[in-house]
A and B are shown apart, each in its own frame.
Chain A
């Protein structure tokens, strides 16, 4: 953190004013409040209040069968829902000891990396907006739409995707979906290049972001930061590289690392991650071609919800459908912690199962919740305009913050 002067309440020469930043201020990009004590435009101290959209997901999960928990995960980080979905499915698969075919793993990698790109597009686009540059945001938003169209082709929905099932996917990726992904791989890189050209050496942008809200690696670790924020501070911790899941070990990619953890570094790290994601998707598409094209889920009828048309016409499918929906399937008594690299950092699922139809206890380790707690302490002494940019660069998603 920067060495700003620290003001105290006891200073008789100073009169402070109180500023409510949020809960629904446009600059907060989400429903959370900061009560700031201001000395002119400088923040003296602040208190963050959260919980405005707390929906008791962990309690609800204790009453739902595993497959019905997927829609709860969508609503954590809704900018990259598929990562949350896949993370949850993999947690349950770990519990039930389900091995997914390679093709399913690669399909998951594709959809997760697309989600990461979509999330970073919004974050970096909005960071541009907060520094006064609207163009980049509008220019990039078109490509988030293209990613949403790919989701739509795969699962029928765009924001809260509910993609996939325990054991694989509900349906195969069709030719149109693959065509759209390939088209995206061709169309997006030049745009990303232009986006970088617009910002990376832009005098205003660099002046507004460089050395702003710089965080050392030690402080970032002490606050349990993860994801691009931790990496921007110089720690190369990426769950995909450290504990590969969904066959990430089969892919060549780099983990971009920043130097001093300021807003500019976070921006650069996210941009570089988009390049790496594109690289991973391309590799995954090539690998998929070598796998049998008809496979899109593991052969685990006791856990994989059968397609609806089979339920209507096939007795076995009807029985399995009934057993799964009524929660009659056998589950082991065990504890699982499974983490995936969400767009904001380590998204962990801690699942305690007692053999019943629902988890005995389910806890989400939400990166936004953990990343955001440093906001108020780190804003002390900062200018309000810098604090706004800092908030954009933290990429806090209210759904994930509150759960």
Chain B
């Protein structure tokens, strides 16, 4: 089957979920949409099971942190339709006070560790995950280290400050 055009893919999503899908970009041809956590399970399910789309391959789940936004933590899904060779990126932004989002394990077994890693790094709580605990960092860690408030280097160190380099 031929590659699905971004416009067509967006149209299908909008028809199925009116008003709940927003295109946020298509950098380098990869359609990026944003949706809400209340419908993310249905959106993923639709993309996976629709006979014309067949996004059967869950490439990746990860997250990103924009501290200045009202909803600072974004959960990012990359899906791949092996039948049509089309990729899509889906984002769901969460408020810091409510970092809950439904798990994708109901659709893909492989989401298990990807979600554990996302929890470990950003503290996103995947509701319905059977074993949501840290995976790469130590169990007694109290912070979520990939958030932007945790800089890598000692903030008191001055020898690498930007002004020494004219920045």
Contacts and interface: CB of A to CB of B under 8 A. Distances in A.
Interface of A: 50-51, 54, 56, 58-60, 62-63, 94, 219, 221-225, 235, 237, 242-243, 326, 334-337, 339, 346, 348, 350, 352, 360-361, 363, 365, 369-370, 373-374, 402-403
Given A224-B108, A237-B82, A337 B62 contact: no
B109 A374 contact: yes
A360 B27 CA distance: 16
Nearest to A49: B135
Given A335-B30, A374-B110, 13 more contacts: A50-B135, A51-B134, A54-B136, A54-B137, A56-B152, A94-B28, A223-B110, A224-B58, A335-B27, A361-B65, A365-B59, A370-B110, A402-B136
* Central interface residue in A242, A243, A350, A360, by most chain B CB within 10 Å: A350
Contacts of B62: 350, 363
Contact of B27 (A223, A336, A370, A374): A336
Interface of B: 25, 27-28, 30, 32, 56-60, 62, 64-65, 76, 78, 82, 85, 87, 89, 108-114, 117, 121, 134-138, 145-146, 151-153, 165, 167
Given A224-B58, A402-B136, A59 B78 contact: no
B113 A334 contact: no
A221 B108 CA distance: 8
A242 B146 contact: no
18 contacts: A50-B136, A54-B136, A54-B137, A62-B152, A63-B151, A94-B28, A222-B110, A223-B108, A223-B110, A224-B58, A224-B111, A335-B27, A335-B89, A337-B89, A350-B62, A350-B78, A365-B59, A369-B113
Given A237-B57, A365-B59, A373-B110, A51 B137 contact: yes
Contacts of A374: 109-110
Contacts of B27: 334-336
Given A237-B82, A243-B85, A335-B89, A365 B60 contact: yes
A205 to B, nearest CB: 30
List 9 tightest A-B contacts by C-beta distance, closest first.
A224-B110, A51-B136, A54-B136, A373-B113, A223-B110, A363-B62, A365-B60, A334-B27, A222-B109
Nearest to A58: B146
Contacts of B137: 51, 54
Contact of A336 (B28, B76, B135): B28
Contacts of A235: 82
Nearest to A352: B64
A242 B85 contact: yes
B28 A370 contact: no
Contact of B60 (A51, A62, A348): A348
A98 to B, nearest CB: 13
B56 A326 contact: no
Nearest to B117: A369
Contact of A63 (B28, B109, B153): B153
Nearest to A59: B152
Contacts of A350: 60, 62, 76, 78
Contacts of B60: 348, 350, 363, 365
A233 B55 CA distance: 19
Contacts of A360: 64
B54 to A, nearest CB: 11
* Central interface residue in B25, B112, B134, by most chain A CB within 10 Å: B112
Contacts of A58: 121, 146
A349 B109 CA distance: 22
A223 B32 CA distance: 23
A235 B56 CA distance: 12
A50 B137 CA distance: 9
Given A51-B136, A335-B27, A336-B28, A56 B145 contact: yes
Contacts of A370: 110, 113-114
A51 B153 contact: no
A337 B30 contact: yes
